[in-house]
């Protein structure tokens, strides 16, 4: 199994829609960002990539690249999923905590949960969505997301690894037996008589 952790934050900005977890929320301000500013999906992407030591969101989607301007962050999650699948892993479950003063996440948590589960190809019961207010943190003008993911090997990859381990063990046993037989044969050979000069 592998564990990944992701964190992200974005400041609120007028004139842009508020997207969190792939859902557009009703609010007078959205989140500033080079892409769509989806703080939850960005943290999720980092958690997925980090779990398999594949880098971070910036190494795949640099904010300096104009082609990612306004991009849907669901694309970032999809690429991260490809990376974990390439290494034989799948998502077991996700837990997240959003920190923001407004809007209230409770009334829309189930919608975010369902959308994140859809993006990851897992059940909503495998996705935790929680929210806290930033009391005393001085971050009222920003939204922050913390995400943890747990990955496990695909069943077929587990079987392949077990088969490889068995083959390696058999090879080791065969080599050991060959060496033992060789040692026994050498020990059984009659000593070579030395000719004595007269």
Give the pLDDT confidence of 160-176 residue by residue, as tens digits: 555 656 667 676 777 77
Say what the pLDDT of residue 28 is: 94
Domain assignment of residue 195, yes or no:
no
Q: Averaged over 109-127, what is the pLDDT?
A: 98
Domain assignment of residue 198, yes or no:
no
How many domains is the chain built from? Answer: 2
Q: Which domain holds residue 117?
A: 2-153
Say what the pLDDT of residue 34 is: 85
Half-sphere exposure of 188 (CA within 13 A, CB side): 6
Cβ-contact 91, 84 below 8 angstroms: yes
- Identify which of 58, 52, 51, 45 has the alpha carbon closest to the alpha carbon of residue 7: 45
Residues 181 and 122 in one domain: no
Q: What is the rounded distance in angstroms from the CA atom of residue 26 to the CA atom of residue 15?
A: 12
User: What percentage of the chain exceeds 90 in pLDDT?
Assistant: 67
Residues 11 and 87 in one domain: yes
Residues 116 and 182 in one domain: no
Cβ-contact 40, 145 below 8 angstroms: yes
Residues 181 and 114 in one domain: no
Please indicate, yes or no, whether the overall pTM of this predicted structure exceeds 0.75. yes
Query: Tell me: the pLDDT tens digits for 24-70?
Result: 999 999 999 889 999 999 999 999 999 999 999 988 998 888 888 88
Domain assignment of residue 25, yes or no:
yes
Residues 116 and 142 in one domain: yes
């Amino acid at each position: 199994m592998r564990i990944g952790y992701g964190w992200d934050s974005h400041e609120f900005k007028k004139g842009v829609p508020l997207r969190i977890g792939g859902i557009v929320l009703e609010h007078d301000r959205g989140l500033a960002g080079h892409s769509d500013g989806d703080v939850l999906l960005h943290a999720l992407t980092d958690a997925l990539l980090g779990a398999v030591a594949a880098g971070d969101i910036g190494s795949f989607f640099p904010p300096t690249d104009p082609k990612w301007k306004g991009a849907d962050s669901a694309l970032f999650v999809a690429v991260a999923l490809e990376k974990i699948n390439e290494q034989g892993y799948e998502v077991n479950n996700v837990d997240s905590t959003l920190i923001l003063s407004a809007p209230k996440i409770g009334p829309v948590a189930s919608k975010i949960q369902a959308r994140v589960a859809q993006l990851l190809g897992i059940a909503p019961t495998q996705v935790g969505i929680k929210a806290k207010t930033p009391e005393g943190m001085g971050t009222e003008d920003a939204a922050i997301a913390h995400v943890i993911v747990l990955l496990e090997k695909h069943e077929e990859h587990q079987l392949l690894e077990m088969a490889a381990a068995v083959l390696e063990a058999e090879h080791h046993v065969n080599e050991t037996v060959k060496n033992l037989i060789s040692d026994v044969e050498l020990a059984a050979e009659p000593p070579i008589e030395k000719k004595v000069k007269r």
